[in-house]
Structure 1
Amino acid sequence: MVKAVDLVGERWTFLVLCEALAGATRFSEFRARLGIASDVLAARLAKLVDSGLLARQTYREPGQRPRDGYCLTDAGREMNVVLSALQEWGGAHLSDTAPTVAYRTGDGRSVQVRFVDGEGAVVPSGDVRSERV
């Protein structure tokens, strides 16, 4: 748990990851959406690449020099569950946080983050405990 929090627990790292999950791939997109300083953004993108949550992907606009874009890896896409759970919790328990709704891309039906047992039954949070194995 400590390693995971060290990786994504810093505010800007978390927000950069949220924007990547929302579709941002270019440095300029992250900067415009977040209003983040270029040096801070570069450091956070490098951290996410080094950790394997993002991968660099070179692109080139006509008449421009090649630039790095950033795409989510499988590990980065799996962070959607973590971020969605945090957004869901914030919307339910923090008065100054707007509720969010997650939708299934195929049919637009709303989805929620929940604990589910091996048979697919939803398990209440109070009935779940975690331990290291």
Structure 2
Amino acid sequence: MDHDGSASGPSDVLERLGAFSDRDEWPAQGWCRIERSLEVIGTRSAMLVIRELFYGGTRFDELVRRTGLSEAVVAGRLKQLFADGIVDRRPYREEGKRTRDEYVLTERGRGIFPIIVAMVQWGEGLRDDHRTGVELVHRDCGTPLSASVTCRKGHEVPVEQAAVRLKDEDYALAGRRRGRI
């Protein structure tokens, strides 16, 4: 039984295919894309900074103010996000002040947008009050955005129709034999 009392079965999880069927033979540590993504954006503070960058914040002081995080935490996250290619720095100078950097999302950083949409959509179910907060909408028509999972052929894929396999099974098996995976 799941934590909500409903029965779970194979259709509730990703089906494992090929060599990945023997899950214990393939520990994910070190090569899993989810793990790598979490290393880059997996902290609450990183996501709050990214949120504010998507909402149009660019300057350090406004990122600190709008996230409610300390200057040290925001500075650390921006340094990490810059090193990982999520943000870029652009110098600016207000009259009578020294030159400072503002922060903008790179193309790689803008690639996080579907995650932001999915988190907002999923978060709608966490509170009873759906009239507060923000909603993401299509600028042209005003309709709320939603996230969906599709295959590259365009089919919408619910979890019960999804599977997981090794990306390049021959390469992975060869690496495993050499002790690299």
TM-score, reference length from structure 2: 0.66
Offset at residue 90 of structure 1 (A): 2.0
Of 113-122 and 66-75, deviating more is: 113-122
Match of 2:137 among 90, 103, 123: 103
Offset at residue 100 of structure 1 (A): 5.3
Spell out the pairing of 1:36-115 with structure 2 (5 A cutoff).
36-92=69-125, 94-95=126-127, 98=130, 101-115=135-149
SS at match of 2:103: strand
Larger-gyration structure (1/2): 2
User: Is residue 17 of structure 1 aligned with residue 36 of structure 2?
Assistant: no
Match of 2:151 among 107, 117, 129: 117
CA distance in 1, matches of 2:136, 2:47: 18
Mark the CA change 1:74 to 1:97 in structure 2 (over 3 Å): closer, same or farther.
farther
Q: Are 2:90 and 2:104, in contact at CA under 8 Å, matched by a contact in 1?
A: yes
CA distance in 1, matches of 2:109, 2:85: 7
Give 5+ residue unaligned stretches, structure 1: none
Q: Residue deviations 1:51-79, cap 9 Å, x none?
A: 00000110111221110000000111110
SS at match of 1:103: coil
Cα RMSD for the two superposed structures: 2.0
Offset at residue 47 of structure 1 (A): 0.5
The number of equivalent residue pairs is 132
User: Is residue 128 of structure 1 aligned with residue 128 of structure 2?
Assistant: no
Give 5+ residue unaligned stretches, structure 2: 1-33, 168-181
> Which protein has the bigger strand share?
1
**Higher RCO, 1 or 2 (CA under 8 Å, sep at least 6)?**
2
Mark the CA change 1:74 to 1:37 in structure 2 (over 3 Å): closer, same or farther.
same
CA distance in 2, matches of 1:49, 1:131: 32
